[in-house]
């Protein structure tokens, strides 16, 4: 059974930074595309970023490009999202997601507010 | 970024059949097909179909998916109370190199 566990969310002021982590188990992490998807309060699902298995190719939604960085450590079966210059509109539940969006973590809440 | 188009809500009676639709373009739904996610309140989304007509292990046979051109469909037969949820379609967009989602369809089982 694939298990994804996110951590690192919290309350941060606008302009601040957070680093989200996702620990994966039960699958061949190193062979999986991995993504972050978020859901703002009262809104639908929004894709944030995706990284290929070898980590060499990364893709971002336009609204986070230049501010967020997705990375991975295949030896540790871990996925990360470094979030800088956070905005109020980044407030959301952030999910770690594997492959063809086939496995999801429980999510970690990021709140950007002064 | 542009997304996929879904009707905002569908209501059906218990035991009936619901068909949800999702429209994209040649770069996403028409390219490698669509997936469908069931999102119940308080739970993470769950994949119920992928690449048009494939069903993950453990998903009820009451869920079936298909595609015609750039439109994907999810059919749920014998509706049960636990089927009440938001359903999102998703697809990898080869031109945008991005996952795109529909706005979600709220399914109500009366």
Give B86's contacts in chain A (Cβ within 8 Å): 44
Model confidence over A96-108: pLDDT tens digits?
999 999 999 999 9
Nearest to A45 among B1, B45, B47 (CB): B45
For residue B35, is pLDDT > 60? yes
- The separation between CA A76 and the C-alpha centre of its own chain, rounded to angstroms, equals 16
Q: Which residues does chain B have within 8 Å of residue A46's beta carbon, measured at their own beta carbons?
A: 101
pLDDT tens, residue by residue, B62-108: 999 999 999 999 999 999 999 999 999 999 999 999 999 999 999 99
Contact B29, B99 (CB under 8 A): no
Segment B6-34 shows an average pLDDT of: 96
Top pLDDT among A45 and B51 is at: A45
Using CB atoms, pick whichever of B44, B56, B101 lies closest to residue A95: B44
Over range A1-12, report the average pLDDT: 95
**CB–CB of B47 and A59 under 8 A?**
no
pLDDT for the residue A26: 86
- Residues 6 or more apart whose Cβ sits within 8 Å of residue A68: A48, A49, A60, A81, A82, A83, A84
From A18, A40, A21, A9, select the one nearest A110 (Cα to Cα): A9
**Is residue A79's pLDDT more than 60?**
yes
Neighbour-count burial of B108, counting CB atoms closer than 10 A to its CB (0-12 exposed, 13-18 middle, 19+ buried): middle
Tell me if chain A has a CB within 8 Å of the CB of B51: yes
Q: Which residues share a beta bridge with A61?
A: none
In the A/B pair of chains, how many CB contacts fall below 8 A?
A: 50
Placement of tokens 């509109």 in the chain: A89
Mean pLDDT over B11-35 rounds to 96
User: Is pLDDT at B16 greater than 60 in this prediction?
Assistant: yes
Residue A48: φ, ψ to 5°:
-110, -55
User: What share of chain A in percent tops pLDDT 70?
Assistant: 100
C-alpha to C-alpha distance for A74 and B64, rounded to whole angstroms: 34
Question: Do the Cβ atoms of A59 and B39 come within 8 Å?
Answer: no
User: Do A6 and A22 meet the contact criterion of CB atoms below 8 Å apart?
Assistant: yes
Q: For residue B77, which of B47, B48, B100 has the smallest C-alpha distance? A: B48
Q: Which residue has the tokens 């699958």?
A: A27
Could you tell me if B1 lies within 8 Å of chain A, comparing CB atoms?
A: yes
- Given an 8 Å threshold on Cβ–Cβ distance, is A45 in contact with B37? yes
Q: Is B62 exposed, middle or buried (0-12, 13-18, 19+ CB in 10 A)?
A: middle
Residue B45 contacts residue A94 (beta carbons within 8 Å): no
Q: What percent of chain B has pLDDT over 90?
A: 91
| pLDDT at residue A67, rounded to an integer | 98
Collect all residues of chain B within an 8 Å Cβ-Cβ radius of residue A2.
Answer: none
- What are φ and ψ of residue B83, in 5° steps? -80, -10
What is the structure's pLDDT at B53? 84
Whether residue B90 and residue A101 make contact (CB cut-off 8 A), yes or no, is yes
* Closest residue to A45, CB basis, from B47, B51, B88: B88
Residue tagged 């079966």 (tokens): A77
Is the pLDDT at B1 greater than 70? The verdict is no
Q: How far apart are CA A63 and CA A20, in angstroms?
A: 18
Alpha-carbon dihedral sign for residues B1, A39, A6, B92: negative
Could B1 and A100 be called an inter-chain contact, meaning their C-beta atoms sit closer than 8 Å?
no
High-pLDDT (> 90) share of chain A, %: 95
Q: Which of B1, B47, B103 sits opposite A102 (nearest CB)?
A: B47
pLDDT value for B2 = 57
Whole-number percent of chain B with pLDDT over 70: 98
List CB contacts of B79: < 8 A, sequence separation 6 or more: B12, B13, B14, B15, B16, B17, B18, B109
Task: Judge: A45–B97 Cβ closer than 8 Å, yes or no.
Answer: no
């Amino acid at each position: 059974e694939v298990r994804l566990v996110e951590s690192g969310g919290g309350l941060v002021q606008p302009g601040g930074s957070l680093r989200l982590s996702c620990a994966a188990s039960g699958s061949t992490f190193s062979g999986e595309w991995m993504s972050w998807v978020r859901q703002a309060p009262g809104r639908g699902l929004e894709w944030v970023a995706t990284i290929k298995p070898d980590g060499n190719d990364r893709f971002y939604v336009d609204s986070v490009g230049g501010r967020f960085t997705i990375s991975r450590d295949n030896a540790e079966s871990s996925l990360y999202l470094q979030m800088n210059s956070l905005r109020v509109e980044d407030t959301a539940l952030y999910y770690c997601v594997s492959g063809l969006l086939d496995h999801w973590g429980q999510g970690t809440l990021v709140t950007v507010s002064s | 970024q542009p997304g996929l188009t879904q009707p905002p809500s569908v209501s059906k009676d218990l035991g009936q059949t619901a068909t949800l639709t999702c429209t994209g373009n040649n770069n996403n739904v028409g390219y490698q097909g669509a997936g469908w996610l069931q999102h119940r309140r308080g739970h993470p989304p769950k994949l119920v179909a992928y690449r048009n007509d494939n069903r993950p292990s453990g998903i009820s046979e009451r869920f079936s998916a298909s595609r015609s051109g750039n439109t994907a469909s999810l059919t749920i037969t014998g509706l049960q109370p636990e089927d009440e949820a938001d359903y999102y379609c998703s697809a990898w967009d080869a031109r945008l190199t991005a996952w795109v989602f529909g706005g979600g369809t709220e399914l109500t089982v009366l």
